[in-house]
Amino acid sequence: MLYHIVTYGCQMNVHESEKIAGMLEDLGYSPTDKREDADIIVFNTCAIREGAEDRAFGNIGALKQLKKQDRNKIIAVCGCMTQQKQVAEKIFKTFPFVDIVVGTHNLYLLEKLIKRKLNENKRILDYMESSPVIEGIPTKRTSGDNAWINIMYGCNNFCTYCIVPYVRGREMSRKKQDILDEIKEVIDTKCYKTITLLGQNVNSYGNDSKENGNFAELINDICKLDGDFKLTFMTSHPKDLSDELIEAIKNNDKVIKEIHLPVQSGSTKILKAMNRNYTREHYLDLIKKLRDAVPDIRITTDIIVGFPGETEQDFEDTCSLVKQVKYDGIFAFMYSKRSGTIAATMPNQVDESVKNYRVNYLLNLEKEIKAQKG
Ligand code: SAH
Ligand code: SF4
Ligand code: F3S
């Protein structure tokens, strides 16, 4: 019995696919690289931009042929796309050869649903509005010597362009002891050099329950664990990056001196429209504080171009910020309308051709900066 998982999206999804693999191996399946050989194929989808959704749709559609060749093959679709109820229903309707559709909140039920499918041979569309933190899902780590560790789920920020709060729910931190226990277990195997803490906004770890302490305290506590490992984390939201966290990065030898700090735009006007809750000046001040504390820190970022209302001047503000910060890496995205978000209904949507020009301009700028840095 073989399984094949196709993963789209962010590290959160990469790690969730490790949990899917864990559940499948629990059921007795083994991995295969070839989807045509697999007895079960799982698509773990992403909804962040239209392109990601379109690709998944196309690739799920193409499974029809495989199903024709082997009617016993199980096809399951899960992840952020199918946490949108109307998309889950559309996939279930459009693709009759898809056997199981689940979202993000009920992913932990996959094992049970596969068993049900095998017993009853009925198609299953399972939807759950929300869920508490679920511990103890078996995990098959597949990311080399890096171990992903979730510290929290969900997001409360509602950046006006972003679908994540709608498909991942509200922020929920894991209990500190559960996190420490999982890390201890990982370190004890001696197979992992790097621990990467995951959350949509790791800086707000603990905000939802005081008993766990804050993110800086969590880092300090993890670094006290015995063992030969390095620690890193993603993603940090600039609005919550505290002096205490900067100190924790500086003072712990185990913490890798790098930070991914998405700026999204260099224009305070656009940042406000995005509901990012910081200004250009505040962001630049954070960069200065980080570099004063840790001079050789690697800083990377995400930028969205063509957010509704972004003028040539706003874009120039982004470019000037990029030149000033001299990032070690930039992920630049063309704004993509996500239905259900506030920005999707904003006036002054920007032309695709302009977005295209701006994204290429930024990528060239990044190349120039890299060349200068040597
Ligand atoms: N929680 C993280 C990352 C979220 S998604 C954070 O807040 O930084 C990763 C990146 O995708 C975001 O940083 C943003 O740059 C980009 N993104 C999110 N929604 C988008 C949209 N509608 N169109 C284009 N890019 C988007
Ligand atoms: Fe999306 Fe903003 Fe939350 Fe990041 S912080 S996941 S960009 S809403
Ligand atoms: Fe995509 Fe969901 Fe991550 S929308 S970016 S897989 S949280």
Could you say which architecture CATH assigns to the domain 2-126? 3-Layer(aba) Sandwich (3.40)
**Over the stretch 164-216, which tens digit does the pLDDT of each residue have?**
999 999 999 999 999 999 999 999 999 999 999 999 999 999 999 889 999 99
CA angle 275, 341, 106 (to 5 degrees): 110
**Which residue has a Cα nearest atom 1 of ligand 3?**
46
- Evaluate if residue 38 carries a pLDDT over 80: yes
Ligand 3 test: best mutation among 45, 153, 167, 333, most atoms within 8 Å of CB?
Answer: 167
Task: Report the percentage of the chain scoring pLDDT > 70.
Answer: 100
- Asked if residue 299 has pLDDT above 90, the reply is yes
Is residue 157 within 8 Å of 170, Cβ to Cβ? no
Look-up of token digits 């193409």:
62
- The edge-to-edge listing of strands for the beta sheet with 230-234 is 146-150, 194-198, 230-234
Q: What is the average pLDDT across 111-136?
A: 95
Share the mean pLDDT of the chain.
97
Neighbouring CB atoms inside 10 A of 286's CB total 21
pLDDT at residue number 344: 97
d(CA 218, CA 201): 14
Q: Which residues line ligand 2 (CB under 6 A)?
A: 155, 157-159, 162, 164-165, 200-201, 237
Distance 11 CA to ligand 2 centre (A): 14
**Cβ within 8 Å of residue 63, ≥6 positions away:** 35, 41, 75, 95, 97, 98
Q: What are the tens digits of pLDDT across the range 137-152?
A: 999 999 999 999 999 9
Asked if the domains 2-126 and 257-374 are classified in one and the same CATH topology, the answer is no
pLDDT of residue 371: 93
Which residue's CA lies nearest to atom 2 of ligand 2? 159
Characterize the bridge pairing of strands 2-7 and 146-150. unpaired
The span from the CA of 39 to the CA of 261, in Å, is: 41
Under 8 Å between Cβ of 119 and 139: no
Which ligand places an atom closest to the C-alpha of 307? 1
The reported pLDDT for the residue numbered 7 is 97
5-19 residue pLDDT tens: 999 999 999 999 999
Measuring from each residue's beta carbon to the nearest atom of ligand 1, which residues come in under 6 Å? 48-49, 161-162, 164, 200-201, 235, 237, 262, 264, 302, 304, 333, 335-336, 338
In the numeric block, which tokens belong to residue 268?
A: 């305070």
- Considering the four listed CATH numbers 3.30.750.200, 3.40.190.10, 1.10.40.30, 3.40.50.850, the one that applies to the domain covering 257-374 is 3.30.750.200
Q: Residue 269's pLDDT is what? A: 98
Q: Where are the domains of the chain?
A: 2-126, 143-256, 257-374
Render 141-192 in DSSP notation, one character per residue: --STTEEEEE-EE------TT--HHHHH-S-EEPPHHHHHHHHHHHHHTT--
CB atoms within 10 A of CB 226: 8
The yes-or-no verdict on residue 329 having pLDDT over 90 is yes
Alpha carbon of 168 to ligand 3 centroid (Å) = 8
- Contact by Cβ (8 Å): 186, 149: yes
Which residues are near ligand 3 (CB < 6 Å)?
Answer: 9-10, 12-13, 46-48, 80, 163-164, 167-168
What CA–CA distance (Å, rounded) separates 243 from 218? 15
Tokens 């696919």, located at residue = 17
| Ligand 2 closest atom vs CA 162 | 1
**For atom 19 of ligand 1, which residue has the closest CA?**
162
| 69-79 average pLDDT score | 96
Tens of pLDDT, residue by residue over 210-251, are 899 999 999 999 999 999 999 999 999 999 999 999 999 999
Looking at residue 350, its pLDDT comes to 98
Q: Is domain 143-256 classified as CATH 3.40.1010.10? A: no
Question: Ligand 1, closest atom to CA 236?
Answer: 8
Probe target for ligand 1 pocket from 151, 260, 261, 304, with the most ligand atoms within 8 Å of CB: 304
The answer on pLDDT for 328 being more than 90 is yes
pLDDT > 90: what percent of the chain?
Answer: 98
Q: What is the per-residue pLDDT for 365?
A: 97
Given a cut of 90, whether residue 128 has pLDDT beyond it is yes
Instruction: Measure the CA–CA gap between 220 and 240, rounded to whole angstroms.
Output: 17
Could you give the C-alpha distances from 13 to 44, 52, 67, 115, 223, in angstroms and in order? 7, 13, 25, 23, 26
Return the pLDDT at 373: 85
Among 13, 105, 155, name the best residue to mutate to test ligand 3's pocket (greatest count of ligand atoms within 8 A of Cβ). Answer: 13
Q: Does 374 score more than 90 pLDDT?
A: no
Q: What is the pLDDT of residue 103?
A: 97
Q: What average pLDDT does this structure show over 356-374?
A: 94
Q: What pLDDT score does 113 carry?
A: 97
What separation in Å is there between the alpha carbon of 157 and the centre of ligand 2?
A: 6
Ligand at minimal distance from the CA of 305 is 1
